[in-house]
Structures are given as C-alpha cells and as structure tokens.
Structure 1
Amino acid sequence: MLLNQKNPGLAVVLSFFFVGLGQIYNGQIGKGIGFIIAYTVSLLLCFVLVGFITSPILWIWGMIDAYKVAQKTHGM
C-alpha cells in the first residue's frame, strides 16, 4: 500500500462524525475547511428553519465526497 493511498471506509467514518474531516484526511485541506464552514453556517440557519434542510444535505454530501476521493487514491 502506497503512502498516498487513503482508506475510503475511514474517510466516510471521519466525515460521519465530523463534517469535513474526511476531506482533510484525503489531503484536501481547503475543501475540508470549506465543508466545516458551510456546515457551521447551515447549523446556524436552523434558527430560521432553512438549516434543517441544508445541514443533512451537507453532511451526506461530505461523506459521499470523502468516499469517492479516497476511492480514487486507493486504486479501486
């Protein structure tokens, strides 16, 4: 296993527990920080009900993105 290969399962689990962490694990620091900022704003929008729609979408999107990027580096 090469050092730059990432485990897709681990990327998903990291994103499951903390949005953006899977992207950071995959080496996409800027994208991970972007997900963290977007999710924080989305949580704040829960006060006006919009966040109840956007937060789950960002959470799921983050997990899918982390998996797909890790899968590409894993060579699957």
Structure 2
Amino acid sequence: MRNPLLAAILSIIVAGLGQIYNGQIGKGVIFIILQIINGALTLVLIGWILMPIVGLWATIDAYLVAKRNNERHGLR
C-alpha cells in the first residue's frame, strides 16, 4: 500500500521522488532529469516557466498512481 499524500509530498520535495516511491523508477528518473534540465534553463529564464509545470505534473501523477494502485489491490 502506498500513501497517495506521501507520494505527492515526496514529489513536491523533489519531482520524481513520488514516482520512485510508487515503484515507477524509470518515470521518476525522467522527472528528476527534466528538473535538472529546467534548473540549467533558469539561466535563460525559460526554466522558471517549465520547472513549476513539471513539478506540478509529477506531484499530481504520483498522487493518482498511488491512489490507483491502492484501489487496484483493494486498499483504501
């Protein structure tokens, strides 16, 4: 059982960490790489636009995947 709220909080701390917590290692690594790239892009300002978008996407995805996995296994 994965806690959806914890998955979301982990992704707020580091985009991709919630996915890794959910067992989606590849997706988590992709989100982490995207945020590293966004960090580099902040030097040309576009990263400031993309970073919160990727972070929000990772947070929502981590929450929904944990919730869906719990429902699939008959957990609340």
TM-score by length of 1: 0.91
Task: Give the Cα separation in 2 of the matches to 1:18 and 1:57.
Answer: 13
Shift of 1:45: 0.2
Gaps of 5+ in 1: none
Aligned residues: 72
Amino acid in the other structure paired with 1:8: P
1:48 lines up with 2:69 in the alignment: no
Amino acid in the other structure paired with 1:60: L
**Counterpart in 1 of 2:62?**
66
Q: CA RMSD in A?
A: 0.9
**Counterpart in 2 of 1:6?**
2
Gaps of 5+ in 2: none
TM-score by length of 2: 0.91
Counterparts of 1:17-36 in structure 2, within 5 Å, are: 17-36=13-32
Task: Give the Cα separation in 2 of the matches to 1:56 and 1:10.
Answer: 19
Q: How high is the sequence identity, in percent, across the aligned residues? A: 50
